Amino acid sequence: TQLLEQSPQFLSIQEGENLTVYCNSSSVFSSLQWYRQEPGEGPVLLVTVVTGGEVKKLKRLTFQFGDARKDSSLHITAAQPGDTGLYLCAGAKGTDKLIFGTGTRLQVFP
């Protein structure tokens, strides 16, 4: 089974704090995507990382793809209540198959 384990499973923090979410696997992926799903909505793509070691920044969010393309991390600086949601990583196997991670549920309190 190609499992993508995310940690932590739940995270509850105050506005202004920093946090990191991890996405780990024993499998190698062609690329890795991060999605955010807000309550009552479907997941929305945040970023795709393709190259091992790649780092992408999206405002206060920093995404990194591991050198061996087996893991990824998402770092949020100065979290805001609007960052609340379920964060999902998804690894691509081959060209068209996405394996979704177990999810990290983030709650940011004002």
Partner 1 sequence: ETGVTQTPRHLVMGMTNKKSLKCEQHLGHNAMYWYKQSAKKPLELMFVYNFKEQTENNSVPSRFSPECPNSSHLFLHLHTLQPEDSALYLCASSQYLRLADNTGELFFGEGSRLTVL
Residues 48-67 contacting partner 1, CB under 8 A: 48, 50
Q: Which residues contact 15 (CB under 8 A, 6 or more apart)?
A: 79, 80, 81, 108, 109, 110
74 DSSP assignment: E
Q: Is 98 in the site for partner 1 (CB under 8 A)?
A: yes
Q: Which of 19, 24, 75, 100 binds partner 1 (CB under 8 A)?
A: 100
Residues 11-40 contacting partner 1, CB under 8 A: 30-31, 33, 35, 40
Please say which residue, 61 or 88, places its beta carbon nearer to partner 1: 88
Q: Which of 52, 102, 107, 109 binds partner 1 (CB under 8 A)?
A: 102
Q: Is 44 in the site for partner 1 (CB under 8 A)?
A: yes
Q: Report residue 54 as tokens.
A: 């790649």
Task: State the nearest-atom distance from the C-beta of 58 to partner 1, in Å.
Answer: 14
Q: Of 97, 50, 95, which Cα lies nearest the Cα of 69?
A: 50
* Rounded distance between C-alpha atoms, residue 97 and residue 100, angstroms: 10
